[in-house]
Structure 1
Amino acid sequence: MSPVPDTTIRSARLTAGLVGRPVGSSPTARAAAPLDVVRHLVAVQAQDFNQSLWAIGARSLGTTRTDVLAAFDRGELVRSWPMRGTLHTTTPDDLRVLLSLTATRTMRTVATRFRQVGLQPEDVDRARDALLAALSSGVALEREDAMRSFRDAGVDPGESREYILLLAFALEARIAWGPSRRVGQALVLLDDRAPVSSAVRELVEDAEAALVHVLLGYLRGHGPATLADFGTWIGLPLTAVRRARTTAAHQVVDADATRVAIGSAAPASSAAVAHLLPAFDEYVLGLADRSALFVDPTDRVASRNGIGAPVAVVRGRIVGTWSRPADDGTILLTPFRALGAADERALHRAADHLGSFLERPTSLRIDAGTGPPVTPAPAAPGP
């Protein structure tokens, strides 16, 4: 089977990932869109909360930041550590399914960290009991209040202990980040936020069915992709991934000699020419091999190896990085090399979409002095 050209793969992945999809301006469409996007992708990387909101908005043009926050406030979306010890936005149902597959592996690392920071099993138990009691009856706690509950239980949350404890209790499917606050989100009890359905309980109790469910969801929102891409994304061994591929054989097709796709996937369509995608976007992070996304390998250095910077995408290729809007709404685009006039116009339109999402005037300024790539400072991981 001949390899699929990179141009076709990029177009198909933009379409599968809903990048640039318009949803219209009706209140009903805008309200439903954030949940639709996250369900479609299964999970959206979200260690940078504000950037992750735009990851959803970039796939539901016409929605606003307020619309996405409202989906969190309604309990449709939550944010937790479902895989790789990394924060993602997902639905409560998919969070439980993902944790049923990945939490045991991640907890091994957490147990090591407990010992490194001097947390004994009895400390963990006291902290858990205190936090769950503080969150009972539908209470939502901000981070400082969660830390206070640990202190009241005699557990010092300093020296990164608070983060490790919250990660552990999230891996147990006890807590998640939920409703929005002035800064970030508040913690909630997952079962209070969204009780477990019988269908989800069946998946959680059947590891093979759960992994097939997630594989099909991944291919629906990220494919065509290799099994290694999926294994890297979910953080599971390739042997388990291959078994899931075999089980799902009638629903998965070969795109070429190395890539697979979901059989019911829509054909690639002509998406908008240009997009401003956030840091840690699924279009970039959903692949183990990102070489096809860059014109030149050196561009990966300038974009923090294609992972940590907000990126400008033209015809599926990453052509530069951009800054978050300044106080005056200016977005600075730093291209890796000179852009054509048509591409610049398309990027200005993409910036307009971002401004509409943020509900504030924005303007794009393209740095004409393109020179040797410079590595930007790392982004803060955020809660």
Structure 2
Amino acid sequence: MRLTWDQVFAWRLRRQYVVSRAAGVPEIVDRLCGVQAQVTSAAEMAVALRSSTPEAGALVGALNDGTLIKTWAMRGTLHALTPDLAAACLSLLASARTWEKPVWQRNFGASPAEVAALTEEVRRVLDGAVLTREELVQTLLADPAYHRLGEQLRSGWGALLKPLAWQGAICHGPAQGAKITFADPAQLIKGWPGLPEPDVAAPTAITAYLGAYGPATPEAFDAWLSRGSLRKTELRGWFSELGDTLTEVEVDGRSGYLLSEHLDDLAATEPTDAVHLLGGFDQYILGPGTADTALLPGDHRAKVSRTAGWISPIVLAGGRIVGTWELTDDAVAVSMFDGAPLPKKGLAAALDHLGAVLGRDALTVRAL
């Protein structure tokens, strides 16, 4: 079956609740396969823009009550996830054993044996406790065995803690003012299932991803999850074992996999010319990745994927990324690619929706 990218993007807009919005925060987060939460305000906006009843602080509320988990997950970045999907994705990330690779050891200074010991010690320290970073590090450094790892343990990047998160030993707890906290997910998260074996986890993670970002290749899934760190033979095996659950399709000459149950729906989807404004670090672009030239023209990638890993707010027309925007004191400043004019149709509705989410009436727009 041959499809067009215009159909795919229209279908993704609907699947990702950009068009047909959802009522519950967990439902949105689950469908998106998690929401990147390095920047809390961006994560809140991603959810609010897709909500039929946007509410300030709704994502943080779901994290604080244990409905969602915040942890280092896809690509080593902080995400808010539903428990079952988090467990599946963490299992696959742990299976890559990136902390055992020489380059990781050179960069972060801990041997596999030290990571294993640190994992067990953190499980012990967090048993029945929620600790700030300072409290956790202070407790760990009481043991001379961890003194040489002190600088990395104190680092806000959390490099030494990520392998622990991937093994399900640690996650973020409710913030204490400006301070982050850490906890044991088994004690903090409602219905925490524990990490399944990778072969059990793979169908959950792959089908969830394809349900939002299909059609896609195994390589695209791996890039989204682990920056290409999964063992290729295992990755191909997981896709193969899904059998008739997946159908390979062609989109404008590019092959990818789609959930078979979605095939008729995608084939019947009509392209759209609607305009949408999505925030920074939005899953719409993070799912397929900024290197996907069907979605984001390669010569404009640097305007979206900026220095220090910053992902700009994006303008969509027909589901394609056609520009970026930023919020100023008096307006939404839009920068269209290639000097194109502002869209005449649909931009007003997108501004109204953004204004409702931000609690700002009568947003105006100006071109940059």
Query: TM-score normalised by the shorter chain: which range applies?
Result: 0.7 to 0.9
**CA pair 244-20 structure 1, distance change in 2 beyond 3 A:** same
| Deviation of the 1:269 alpha carbon | 6.5
Does the Cα contact within 8 Å between 2:224 and 2:287 map onto a contact in 1?
A: yes
| Structure 2 partner of 1:262 | 259
Q: Deviations over 1:40-75 (max 9, x none)?
A: 232333333321222222222422232221111111
| SS of residue matched to 1:255 | strand
Aligned Cα root-mean-square deviation (Å):
3.3
Does the Cα contact within 8 Å between 1:114 and 1:164 map onto a contact in 2?
A: no
Does the Cα contact within 8 Å between 1:79 and 1:178 map onto a contact in 2?
A: yes
Does the Cα contact within 8 Å between 1:303 and 1:311 map onto a contact in 2?
A: yes
**CA pair 362-112 structure 1, distance change in 2 beyond 3 A:** farther
Alignment of 1:158-173 (within 5 A): 159-162=151-154, 163-173=158-168
**CA pair 269-6 structure 1, distance change in 2 beyond 3 A:** closer
Given candidates 59, 82, 85, the residue that maps to 1:94 is 85
TM-score by length of 1: 0.77
**CA pair 185-61 structure 1, distance change in 2 beyond 3 A:** farther
| Structure 2 partner of 1:62 | 53
Given candidates 315, 320, 341, the residue that maps to 1:312 is 315
TM-score by length of 2: 0.80
| Structure 1 partner of 2:243 | 249
Does the Cα contact within 8 Å between 2:245 and 2:259 map onto a contact in 1?
A: yes
Does the Cα contact within 8 Å between 1:103 and 1:172 map onto a contact in 2?
A: yes
CA distance in 2, matches of 1:355, 1:153: 52
**1:208 maps to 2:219:** no
Does the Cα contact within 8 Å between 1:38 and 1:91 map onto a contact in 2?
A: yes
Letter in 2 for 1:94: L
| SS of residue matched to 1:333 | strand
| Deviation of the 1:35 alpha carbon | 0.4
Alignment of 1:81-160 (within 5 A): 81-108=72-99, 113=104, 116-119=107-110, 131-132=122-123, 134-137=125-128, 139-154=129-144, 155=146, 159-160=151-152
| Structure 1 partner of 2:234 | 240
| Deviation of the 1:192 alpha carbon | 0.3
CA distance in 2, matches of 1:77, 1:101: 19
| Deviation of the 1:190 alpha carbon | 0.5
CA distance in 1, matches of 2:104, 2:87: 23
| Structure 2 partner of 1:342 | 344
What is the aligned length? 349
Does the Cα contact within 8 Å between 1:76 and 1:91 map onto a contact in 2?
A: yes
CA distance in 2, matches of 1:260, 1:80: 28
| SS of residue matched to 1:15 | helix
Does the Cα contact within 8 Å between 1:47 and 1:87 map onto a contact in 2?
A: yes
**CA pair 293-120 structure 1, distance change in 2 beyond 3 A:** closer
CA distance in 1, matches of 2:311, 2:93: 23
Deviates more, 1:86-95 or 1:101-110: 101-110
Does the Cα contact within 8 Å between 1:110 and 1:168 map onto a contact in 2?
A: no
Structure 1 stretches lacking a partner, 5+ long? 24-28, 369-383
| SS of residue matched to 2:344 | helix
Given candidates 213, 230, 245, the residue that maps to 1:222 is 213
